[in-house]
Amino acid sequence: MTENCGKVQIDRSRYQAEPVFGEPIPDKMMLEDIKRYRKDGLQEVIKERKSYNYLFYLSELRKNIIEWYPFFRQAEVLAVGADTGMLTDALAQKAAHVTCVETSETRAEMNAAWNAEKDNVRIILGNYPEVEDKLGSYDYITLIGEWKYARSYYENSEDAYRTFLLELLKHLKTGGELLLATENKMGMKYWAGCQDDYYGGYYRGIEDYPGEDNVRTFSKKELEEELRGIEGISWKFYYPYPDYKFPMAIYSDEYLPKTDELTMNIRNFDRDRYVMFDEEKAFGTVIKEGLFSEFSNSFMVSIKKEQ
């Protein structure tokens, strides 16, 4: 079944039920606020609601993770885990066409309402493996915050994370790029007292998720090991700061922060946290020691399909 929300097409033919994994499902009030306020005044609504979910799903800051990236104008883009519309908005302004895959009906409806005036957006509702046969070939694929849920998509795979990447690469044109953003389990903020993004609790990733098998994040070393197991690709790391959810700066190995530059560290809004030490000073030390890439709170990786 296919329907339109303004100019945006939503394909519901493979949708079964709201997912039991992933970010919290937004409530219908957010959808009504998008329809009522659209882009005029919605940022003020975020302040009034005083809710992390409103900030996470509706803040314009979310766009910063991809708005800077040099997409070419005629590009075909696939956004997997497209979320509620902010990232789709940024992509649709930079590319010729954006196909979104979203597991949650509520998030898909919010995405469509936010982008209702765009004629270059299509949304496919359902889990990625169940809708894959509807997909074509793309110049770019974005996987923003979604890779950690690979085991929910590929429960029977011994290596679900690599399987997810391999399945995505099938839909990437030669020379195309897969843009993956994810948390670094060894990120400075987790040492300093932030709770785990998915499970809550302290030091879960640093302790390698004892007793947890469903959702994982990776250190830089582990992520590179996953990538080395795939033939025909090259990759480049970027380091969103403070993290990929609300980035205010994007660093790379060619452009690293200065020792006194990272001052926006108390930026977690989802849970209570401790302040175990001065993160600015600690970042200064790891930068001086050449270890910033190991302790960056998040990664964004451009994975290029060479053949």
Instruction: For residue 39, give the nearest of 93, 114, 116, 118 by alpha carbon.
Output: 114
The predicted structure's pLDDT at residue 101: 97
Instruction: For residue 261, give the nearest of 288, 233, 238 by alpha carbon.
Output: 288
The predicted structure's pLDDT at residue 274: 95
Q: What is the pLDDT of residues 53-109, one digit of tens each?
A: 999 999 999 999 999 999 999 999 999 999 899 999 999 999 999 999 999 999 999
If you average pLDDT over residues 187-207, what whole number do you get?
Answer: 96
Q: What is the pTM of this model?
A: 0.96
> What are 149's two structure tokens?
């849920």
Q: Over 80: is that where the pLDDT of 1 sits?
A: no
Q: What is the pLDDT of residues 49-64, one digit of tens each?
A: 889 999 999 999 999 9
Secondary structure (H, E, C), the chain: CEEEECCEEEECCCCCCCCCCCCCCCCHHHHHHHHHHCCCCHHHHHHHHCCHHHHHHHCHHHHHHHHCCCCCCCCEEEEECCCCCHHHHHHHHHCCEEEEEECCHHHHHHHHHHCCCCCCEEEEECCHHHHHHHCCCEEEEEEECCHHHHHHHCCCCCCHHHHHHHHHHCCEEEEEEEEEEEEECCCHHHHHCCECCCCCCECCCCCCCCCCCCCCCECHHHHHHHHHCCCCEEEEEEEEECCCCCCCEEEECCCCCCCCCCCCCCCCCCCCCCCCCCHHHHHHHHHHCCCHHHHCCEEEEEEEECC
The predicted structure's pLDDT at residue 66: 96
The predicted structure's pLDDT at residue 43: 84
> What are 132's two structure tokens?
């894959």
Round to whole Å and give the CA distance between 91 and 103.
19
If you average pLDDT over residues 164-184, what whole number do you get?
Answer: 98
Q: What is the pLDDT of residues 211-234, one digit of tens each?
A: 887 899 999 999 999 999 999 999
Q: Quick one: pLDDT band at residue 120, thresholds 50, 70, 90?
A: very high
| CB distance 187 to 243 below 8 Å | yes
Least confident of 12-16, 235-239, 278-282: 12-16
Q: What is the pLDDT of residues 123-167, one digit of tens each?
A: 999 999 999 999 999 999 999 999 999 999 998 888 999 999 999
> What are 92's two structure tokens?
């649709």
Side-by-side strand order, sheet with 138-144? 2-5, 8-11, 121-125, 97-102, 76-80, 138-144, 172-183, 298-305, 233-241, 249-252
The predicted structure's pLDDT at residue 103: 93
Classify strands 97-102 and 233-241 as parallel, antiparallel or unpaired. Answer: unpaired
The predicted structure's pLDDT at residue 20: 67
> What are 61's two structure tokens?
């800051």
The better pLDDT of the pair 5, 72 is held by 72
Instruction: For residue 180, give the nearest of 215, 227, 212, 216 by alpha carbon.
Output: 227
